[in-house]
Amino acid sequence: MENKTVYLNGQYLPLSEAKISVMDRGFLFGDGIYEVIPAYHGQLFRFQEHMERLENSLSNIRLPNPHSREQWLKILTELLSPSGDQYIYLQVTRGVAPKRDHAFPEKAEPTVFAMCSNIVPFEGRETGVKAISLDDSRWELCHVKATTLLANILLRQQAVEQGCAEAVLVNKDGYVTEGAASNIFAVIDGILITPPKSCEILPGITRDVILEIAQQNNIPFREEIIALEALKNASEIWLTSSTREIIPVVEFDSHKVADGRPGPVWQNMNRLFQAYKQSLS
Mark out the alpha helices in 10-46 (DSSP H runs).
25-29
Residue 145: active-site member: yes
How far is C-alpha 36 from the chain's CA centre?
7
Those residues of the chain that have pLDDT short of 70 are 1-3
The amino acid present at 81, given as its one-letter code, is S
- pLDDT tens digits along 192-232: 999 999 999 999 999 999 999 999 999 999 999 999 999 99
First to last CA, the chain: 31
Q: Are 14 and 3 in contact (CB under 8 A)?
A: yes
Query: Is pTM beyond 0.75 here?
Result: yes
Three-state SS for 223? strand
3-state helix, strand, coil in the chain (%, to 5): 25, 30, 40
Three-state SS for 43? strand
Given the residues 145, 172, 256, 277, the one annotated as active site: 145
Task: Determine phi and psi for 276, rounding to 5 degrees.
Answer: -65, -45
| DSSP secondary structure string for all residues of 106-125 | SS-PPEEEEEEEEPPPPTTT
Q: So what's the pLDDT on residue 3?
A: 56
Q: So what's the pLDDT on residue 1?
A: 40
Phi-psi category of residue 128: left, alpha or beta, with phi > 0 → left and psi -120 to 50 → alpha: left
Mark out the alpha helices in the chain (DSSP H runs).
25-29, 47-60, 69-77, 150-161, 205-216, 228-232, 264-279
Q: Which domains does the chain have, with CATH numbers?
A: 5-118 (3.30.470.10), 129-279 (3.20.10.10)
Distance, CA of 234 to CA of 75 (rounded, Å): 43
